Amino acid sequence: MKFEIQGQSLRIEGEVTIREIESLHQVVTELGLDKLNALDLSGVTDLDFCAWQWLYVLRRHKPDFHWTWPQASALSWLWTGLEI
Amino acid sequence: MDIKQTFLWEAEELLATISEDLLDLEANPQDKELLNQVFRAAHTLKGSANLFGLSGVSQLTHALESVLDRLRSEELELEAGLTDLLLRGFDQLVRLIKAIARGQEDPQPIPELVEKLQELSSGRDRTHEILTSGILPAVDEEYLCRLKGTDWAEICYHYARGNKLWQIVFEPAANLFFSGHDLILYARSLAALGRLAAHGFYLPELPAWETFEPLSCYLRWQIILATGQEVTRDQLAAEVEFLAGEETEVKLAEFTPALLDWEIDGHLGEDVTFAVETQTAEFLGAIGEELVALEQERNWSPSLPEAVRKIRADLQAIAGKQTLDPLAARALSFLVSTLALIQGYLERTGADSGELPQWWPEFIEAVGKALAVLVTGKLEMALGSLVLDIIELCSLETDLAGTQEAHAVAQEIDVDFICRIAKQQLKYLAPTGEVDPARWPLAQRILLNCARALQDAEWEAVLSGSDPDLASLSDRIAVHGGLAKARSKLSNRAEIVAAVPANPKAVLREGLFAGGIDSQVTNTVKIEQEKIDRLMDLSRELVIAKNSLPYLLRKLNQGVEEQQMAKDLKEKHALFDRLARELQTIVMEMRMLPLSHIFGKFHRFVRDYSRQSGKQIRLQVEGEGTLLDKSIVEVLAEVFVHLVRNALDHGLELPAERLAAGKDSEGLVRLRGWRAGEKVYLEISDDGRGIDVERVKSKAVEKGVLSAQAASALSREAALQLIFHPGLSTADQVTDLSGRGVGMDAVLRTVERVQGKLQVSSEPGRGTAVQIEVPLTMAMTRVLQVVVNGKSYGIPSEQVQETVRLKPKEMQSMQGKTVIVLREQIIPVIHLAQFFRMDQREATGNYAYVVILKNGVGLRVDGLMGQHEVVIKPLDRGLAHLACFAGATILGDGTVLLVINGLNIRPEGDDSHEV
Residues of chain A found within 8 Å of residue B207, distances taken between Cβ atoms: 57
pLDDT value of residue B165? 87
Using alpha carbons, select from B185, B208, B134, B162 the residue that is nearest to residue B877: B208
The residues near B279 (Cβ < 8 Å, ≥ 6 apart) are none
| 3-state SS, residue B203 | coil
Distance of residue B689 Cα from the nearest chain A Cα, in angstroms: 25
How would residue B841 be classed by pLDDT, with cut points 50, 70 and 90?
low
Q: How far apart are CA B568 and CA B552, in angstroms?
A: 8
> For B197-206, B269-278, B688-697, which range has the lowest pLDDT when averaged over its residues?
B269-278
Tell me: the pLDDT tens digits for A65-77? 888 877 766 666 6
Superfamily classification of domain B3-132? HPT domain (1.20.120.160)
Q: What is the pLDDT of residue B491?
A: 40
From the CA of B202, how many Å to the nearest CA of chain A?
A: 10
Question: Structural domain boundaries of chain A?
Answer: 2-82
Per-residue model confidence as pLDDT tens digits over B134-170:
544 556 766 776 666 456 656 655 665 678 889 999 9
Q: Which of B182, B726, B749 sits opposite A49 (nearest CB)?
A: B182
Task: Concatenate the DSSP letters of all residues of B433-470 into one string.
Answer: SS--GGGHHHHHHHHHHHHHHTT-HHHHHHHTSSS--H
- Res. B177: pLDDT tops 80: yes
Contacts of B727 in chain A (CB under 8 A): 19-20
User: Residue B584: CA atoms inside 13 Å, Cβ hemisphere, count?
Assistant: 13
Q: What is the tens place of the pLDDT at every residue in B579-632?
A: 888 888 888 778 788 898 888 878 888 887 887 778 999 999 999 889 898 888
B258-262, B651-655, B746-750 — which one is most confidently predicted on average? B651-655
Listed in order, strand segments (DSSP E) in B179-267 are: 195-202, 220-227, 249-254
Residue B617 is predicted with a pLDDT of 93
Highest mean pLDDT among B516-530, B727-741, B755-769, B897-911: B755-769
Q: Is B673 exposed, middle or buried (0-12, 13-18, 19+ CB in 10 A)?
A: buried
Return d(Cα B44, Cα B65) in angstroms, integer.
10
The mean-pLDDT minimum among B15-24, B180-189, B348-357, B539-548 falls in B348-357
Residues of B in contact with A33 (CB under 8 A): 209
* Burial class, B530, CB count within 10 angstroms (exposed 0-12 / middle 13-18 / buried 19+): exposed
Q: What is the pLDDT of residue B401?
A: 57
Q: Residue B519's pLDDT is what? A: 30
pLDDT over threshold 50, residue B914: no
ipTM > 0.95 (yes/no): no
Q: Which of B449, B724, B742 to mutate to test the interface with A (most CBs of A within 10 A)?
A: B742
CB contact under 8 A, B215 and A21: yes
The nearest alpha carbon in chain A to B177 belongs to: A50
Query: Quick check: A54 contacting B, CB < 8 Å?
Result: yes
When CB atoms are compared, the residue of A23, A50, A80 closest to B457 is A80
Q: What is the DSSP letter of B779?
A: S
DSSP class of residue A68? E
Inter-chain residue contact A63 with B404, CB threshold 8 Å:
yes
Residues of B in contact with A27 (CB under 8 A): 912
SS3 label, residue B59: helix
- Put simply, whether A42 touches B (Cβ < 8 Å) is no
Residue pair B88/B135 in contact (Cβ under 8 Å)? The answer is yes
Question: The domain at B781-904 falls in which architecture?
Answer: Beta Barrel (2.40)
Give the minimum alpha-carbon distance from B177 to chain A in angstroms, rounded to a whole number.
Answer: 7
Q: Which of B41-45, B88-92, B871-875, B889-893 ranks highest by mean pLDDT?
A: B41-45
Model confidence at B782: pLDDT above 50: yes
Residues of B in contact with A78 (CB under 8 A): 184
Domain covering B594-691+730-775: architecture: 2-Layer Sandwich (3.30)
Is the predicted pLDDT of residue B686 greater than 60, yes or no?
yes
Among candidates A22, A30, A50 on the partner chain, residue whose Cβ is nearest the Cβ of B914: A30
Classify strands B164-171 and A9-16 as parallel, antiparallel or unpaired: unpaired
For residue B903, the 8-state DSSP code is G
Choices 3.30.750.24, 1.10.3720.10, 3.10.20.30, 3.20.20.70: CATH for A2-82 = 3.30.750.24
- Reported as a single tens digit per residue, the pLDDT across B456-498 is 777 777 787 777 777 777 777 766 654 333 334 334 433 333 3
Contacts of B210 in chain A (CB under 8 A): 29
Residues B910 and B835 sit within 8 Å (Cβ to Cβ): no
Give the domain ranges of chain B.
Answer: 3-132, 141-265, 278-510, 529-590, 594-691+730-775, 692-721, 781-904
Among B20-34, B248-262, B354-368, top mean pLDDT goes to: B20-34
> Residues B50, B58: contact at Cβ < 8 Å?
yes
Taking an 8 Å cut-off on Cβ atoms, the answer to whether A79 and B457 are in contact is: yes
Q: Over B721-744, what HEC string results?
A: HHHHCCCCCCCCCCCCCCCCCCCH
CA distance A44 to chain B (A): 15
Render the burial of A9-44: b for 16+ CB within 10 Å, e for the rest. ebbbbeebbbbbbbbbbeebebbeeeebeebbbebb
Q: Which residue on chain B is closest to A26 by alpha carbon?
A: B883
**Which residues sit opposite B861 in a β-bridge?**
B849
**Type of residue found at A20:** E
SS3 (DSSP) at B290: helix
pLDDT in tens, B216-261: 999 999 999 989 888 888 788 888 877 776 567 788 888 765 555 4
Using alpha carbons, select from B828, B831, B825 the residue that is nearest to residue B815: B828
Q: Which of B12, B72, B76, B73 is nearest to B48 (CA)?
A: B12
Range with the poorest average pLDDT among B123-132, B414-423, B492-501, B873-882: B492-501
**pLDDT value of residue B638:** 79
Residue B147, pLDDT score: 67
> What secondary structure letter does DSSP report for B902?
G
User: What pLDDT shows up at residue B875?
Assistant: 74
The C-alpha atoms of residue B444 and residue B460 are separated, in whole angstroms, by: 10
Please answer yes or no on whether A77 and B199 come within 8 Å at the CB atom.
Answer: yes
For B632-671, letters b (16+ CB in 10 Å) and e give bbebbbbbbbbbbbbbbbbbbbebeebeeeebeeebbbbb
Long-range (24+ apart) CB contacts under 8 A made by B111-116 are: B111/B138, B112/B136, B112/B137, B112/B138, B113/B60, B113/B88, B113/B89, B113/B137, B114/B59, B114/B60, B114/B63, B116/B85
Nearest CB to A50; choose among B214, B457, B458: B214
- The stretch B418-442 carries a mean pLDDT of 72
Smallest CA–CA distance from A83 into chain B, residue? B455
- pLDDT for B894 equals 73
Percentage of chain B surpassing pLDDT 70? 73
**pLDDT(B354) > 70:** yes
Sign of CA dihedral B726, B731, B732, B735: negative
Q: Is B443 left (phi over 0), alpha (psi -120 to 50) or beta?
A: alpha
Chain B touched by A2 (CB under 8 Å): no
Residue from B12, B92, B86, B84 nearest B56 by CA: B92
Instruction: State the best of A19, A47, A66 to mutate against chain B, taking most chain B CBs within 10 Å.
Output: A19
Decide if pLDDT at B371 tops 80.
no
The DSSP letter of residue B501 is T
Q: A-chain residues within 8 Å CB-CB of B411?
A: 83
| A64: closest chain B residue by CA | B404
Listed in sequence order, the residues at least 6 apart from B337 whose beta carbon sits closer than 8 Å to its beta carbon are B405, B408, B409, B411, B412
Of A18, A25, A76, Cβ closest to residue B177: A18
**B912·A31 Cβ contact <8 A:** yes
Sign of CA dihedral B185, B190, B192, B195: negative
CATH architecture of B141-265: 2-Layer Sandwich (3.30)
Q: Do B182 and A23 touch (CB under 8 A)?
A: no
Which residue does chain A place closest to B408, by CA atoms?
Answer: A84
Once rounded to an integer, what is the mean pLDDT over residues B267-281? 41
pLDDT band at B367 (very low <50, low <70, confident <90, very high): confident
Tell me what percent of chain B is helix, strand and coil, each rounded to the nearest 5: 55, 15, 30
Residue A20: closest CA among A45, A48, A39 = A48
Higher pLDDT, B439 or B182: B182
3-state SS, residue B483: coil
Cα-based angle B897, B898, B903 (whole degrees, multiple of 5): 135
Contact assessment for residue A42 and residue A75, using Cβ atoms and an 8 Å cutoff: no
Q: Do A73 and B461 touch (CB under 8 A)?
A: yes
pLDDT at residue B522 tops 60: no
What was the pLDDT predicted at B421? 61
Burial class from Cβ neighbours inside 10 Å (0-12, 13-18, 19+) for residue B752 reads: middle
Query: Residue B225: what are its φ and ψ, rounded to 5°?
Result: -110, 135
Confidence grade of residue B321 (pLDDT, cut at 50, 70, 90): low
pLDDT on residue B191: 84
